Structure 1
Amino acid sequence: MGKDGKAGGKGKGKQAGGGSDEASSKGKGKAGKAADGLGTCTYVKARHVLCEKQGKINEAYKKLQDGWLSNGDKVPPAEFAKIAAEYSECPSGKKGGDLGWFPRGKMAGPFQDVAFNTPVGVTSAPFKSTHGYHIILSEGRKN
């Protein structure tokens, strides 16, 4: 997964399931984000599901909703990994969608925006990039 140079995409910055909508209602600026690290960290640890077809990513997301998100729960990384292994068309799917730690600037466009603006432990809503449709689980952030 490299830079795709495109901005925009459905679900950008949108949180799914439990947690507040506080982060998604904030603007792009750094003001107000320092306390939770959103938008200010240098590295993010994430897992993702990548599908070429929107229908397939929606099916994976529905499994996450039915199991956890509709109850306001956070998806456990091990369970997200099972969904990634089953649905993801990215080579990382074999590793449960694990992308490890990556720095700001490595991923471009909507993928980076969503990864760096999704609170730790939260699963993003499906969104589109030039590589296909994604769901991200944020697992950590650091400077």
Structure 2
Amino acid sequence: MGKDSKSKDSGSKGKGKQAAGGSEDGASKGKGKAGKGDGLGTCTYVKARHVLCEKQSKINEAYKILQEGWLNNGDKVPPAEFAKVAAAYSECPSGKKGGDLGWFPRGKMAGPFQEVAFNTPVGATSAPFKSTHGYHFILSEGRKN
């Protein structure tokens, strides 16, 4: 299911390549397994925020707020605005901190969550996806080796 989410991400973000090309500690210059030259999936650590909901209808409601405010216009969601949505909707304890997960290494998060976190361009917000813990979407805030 994570691969489906990844393909949704790349097709739904009009500024994805631009966001990935930022100066995040040179991570986009890594020798990538992906071979795309965009640096996605090649870093060792990512910094992310997320929203977690048990029910798909609730995650869709939260995501719709971001779509109407920013994503439908091709804009990036400001971290402070993402944090407000996370605080209001997320059922994860991190919701109290605006969904902030801080920096985490490859291998710490399970399956689809890790795949989406490490493949969402910096500054971009992923499409909703399902993991073993429920339904999520992620705001990528940084990457480093």
Q: Quick check: TM above 0.5?
A: yes
Gaps of 5+ in 1: 1-6
Q: Is the 1:12–1:127 contact (alpha carbons within 8 Å) kept by the matching residues of 2?
A: no
- Over the aligned positions, Cα root-mean-square deviation in angstroms equals 2.1
Q: Is the 1:48–1:137 contact (alpha carbons within 8 Å) kept by the matching residues of 2?
A: yes
Q: 2:94 aligns with which of 92, 98, 117?
A: 92
Q: Report which stretch shifted further, 7-16 or 52-61.
A: 7-16
Q: Is residue 49 of structure 2 the alignment partner of residue 47 of structure 1? A: yes
Instruction: Encode CA deviations 1:81-138: one digit per residue, 9 max, x unaligned.
Output: 0000000000000000000000000002000000000000000000000100001000
Identity %: 79
- In 2, the alpha carbon distance for the partners of 1:131 and 1:52 equals 7
Q: Is residue 43 of structure 2 the alignment partner of residue 31 of structure 1? A: no
Change over 3 Å in CA distance of 1:20–1:9 after alignment to 2? closer
Gaps of 5+ in 2: 21-31
SS at match of 1:41: coil
Q: Is the 1:18–1:69 contact (alpha carbons within 8 Å) kept by the matching residues of 2?
A: no
TM-score after normalising by structure 1? 0.84
Q: Post-superposition shift, 1:11?
A: 1.9
Q: How does 1:1-143 map to 2 (within 5 A)?
A: 8=2, 10-15=4-9, 16-20=12-16, 29-33=33-37, 36-143=38-145
More helix by share: 2
The number of aligned residues is: 131
TM-score after normalising by structure 2? 0.83
SS at match of 2:94: helix
Q: Post-superposition shift, 1:19?
A: 1.5
